Structure 1
Amino acid sequence: MARAPKQAEDRLLVDAIEGVRLPRENPLLFGHGAMEQALLDAYRSGRMHHAWLLAGDRGIGKATLAFRFARFALAHPDARDPALASLGDLAVSADHPVARRIANGSHPNLLHLQRDWDDRGKRFRTELSVDVVRRIVPFLGTTAGEGGWRFVLVDPADDMNRSAANALLKALEEPPPRTIFFLMAETPGRLLPTILSRCRVLRMPSLADGAVERVLRDVDPASLRSGQEHEVALKLAEGSPRRYIELVREDGLALQHLLSETLASGHPRMMLKLADLVGQTGSGLLPRFMDLYSGYLHRRIRGEAEPGASVDPPMLPIVIWAELWEKAARSAAEVDTYNLDVRQFVLDVLETTAEAIRRPVSHGVA
């Protein structure tokens, strides 16, 4: 979706959505009480693990939880303080000095690592690079102030290339005292086994519809729709408030409708229309197309109806849908990395999918 990137420490932020609070600015957390309690209990026990992996779908609150805990620990640096025993969550007032500094990206004890902006390419880089991850070295080499805790947030960790992952592994192997790493990941299986083995894993579920609506009312009430449009967006969001916002802004639902109708009909003219739309120079629609296509395939695997579609989707063996996704994801990565023709890629995906629907046997499934 179109973004208005925010500026922090002279760097653009990949996760910024215009008019929506960043995770570091958000004092509230919905739908993840059990995860919050697990972190609070670990902290109060005095045996806080040094590395945590927050695993789950994008846009469900992983980074929000990581910032929420960092805010709490920096505001309450003594885990043995008897006053903490009566606290039931990790809430810290937005007016607290620690909260204000984290919100504006200026707290010296917190390092947030994400894909950075490529000035030459005028876009965010496709990987979290080793140069970004190496910022950990000088960060941990300084003396920690304001309570002594330091936090490194890698967001998301599955964006790292191999060199970046190896650099992170070295930091995880020899962490300084009172240093906590939070790694966010949609697909933990992409991480090095040696990284996974050093992390305590919290698997964060997608939010229930009611929790999604609560988040939207808090962070972006203008995005909330009504009637059928809301029901379709809520279904397609699959428990992710961020995905809901992306769908309802800038004709995301219209793109989804065109995709589902195109795949249902298999009509070449509709395929060309969709490929032209996504492949238009400067459209920035490829990530959204891939997210919508992924959602379509996942609903086919689960045997669910297609929200808002006028034609029932076909029922095929799961292996066909899985093969289509693997091929599309691999090709999309190549398109992004090597700046290949987006229009042709989309057309290939649509034609391959339509062919699989027409002739499943030709795709290796009887």
Structure 2
Amino acid sequence: MGTLSGNGAITGIGETEYSRNSGRSSTALQMEASLKAISDAGLSPKDIDGVIPYATGDTVAEDFITNFGLPDLRFSATTPLGGASVLASVQAAICAVDCGVANHVLIPIGRNGASGVGGRIGNRVQHLPQFRVVGEFEMPLGQIAPAQLYAHMARRHMEIYGTTSEQLGEIAVTIRQHALLNDNAIMTKPMTLDDHQNSRIISDPLRLNDCCLESDGGAAIIVSSAERSKDMAQTPIYVMGIAEGHPDSPSTITQRPDMTTLGTAKAAPVAFEMAGVKHSEIDVAEIYDCFSYIVLCQLEDLGFCKKGEGGAFVQDGRIRLGGELPVNTHGGLLSQAHMIGLNHVVELVKQLRGQAGRAQVQDAEIGLVTGYGDMGDGAVAILRR
């Protein structure tokens, strides 16, 4: 099998303001973020010859041709893996630029998930192809929203390994602390472990503060070939390892043989081998955090600790800034905004460029970012400056 290591780089990033009521369409938010990413890369819209819109969004490649007047769009695709779609899109973009199909591929996300009913996560999940089994057999019993789907996994982990709600709270509190350092984060109020424990149950054992935000905003990145990235405006951030993985029983969580293992467990070894790095070399990690439990589970599946040891791993400041493995330095989906994880990629690029402001991890050179799809699809990328 060939390798994509170092064959593509992220050369531009862009974000809008994140809010709960933008008053704008998701298309408008995507266009703003995309123009910012294009400018950041030192390009013009006419340089974009590839685009990968979000598969279950309401904007398609033709919208970018119309709005930007793209004269030569040669590559478009979609990657319908829910929250793992962004990194699957990066993988597809690298394939395209590496083989010469395109030179600069735009990957945009735009959401009005807080103010627009159509953008809400519960509605989106129910229209995913893999939701058919759940829709037929589990929805009539109340399995409708993501919190209800993932609560089974979290409770199973607790029953087998003794994981506690307080350990999930440590994740939520840490990520909120990081959000307070970010001027573009929705959640600006400090949170204590007591606050977490006193927040209401949404779907046992998941509490309100274990759950990600619904939010409005847009984010975008540009993926360019390694060769072209050398002469662009920003320091290129190279993709050294990238992979996706799908869980056993991919269409329903409750029927799989191991409810505590995600597709991440299949993707991680491939990404690490491709990158040629060890876990100890990762300076910063941006972990998809639709729910606090999913962060804990991914840390195990990534190999930072053994299965069942995630609860102990996140304690004692290990995942905080200044700790052994700073996690979600921007505030993540839990406290910054829900941009299907593209804001995680933007933050990692900032960290590796040295542009992360008050949340900057000193001398960050190698970082990891994950994506997590709705029934357990996993994607992992290891980036390097």
Task: Please tell me the TM-score bracket, short chain as reference.
Answer: under 0.3
TM-score normalised by structure 2 residue count: 0.24
More strand by share: 2
More helix by share: 1
More contact order relative to length (CA 8 Å, sep ≥ 6): 2
State the structure with more CA Rg. 1
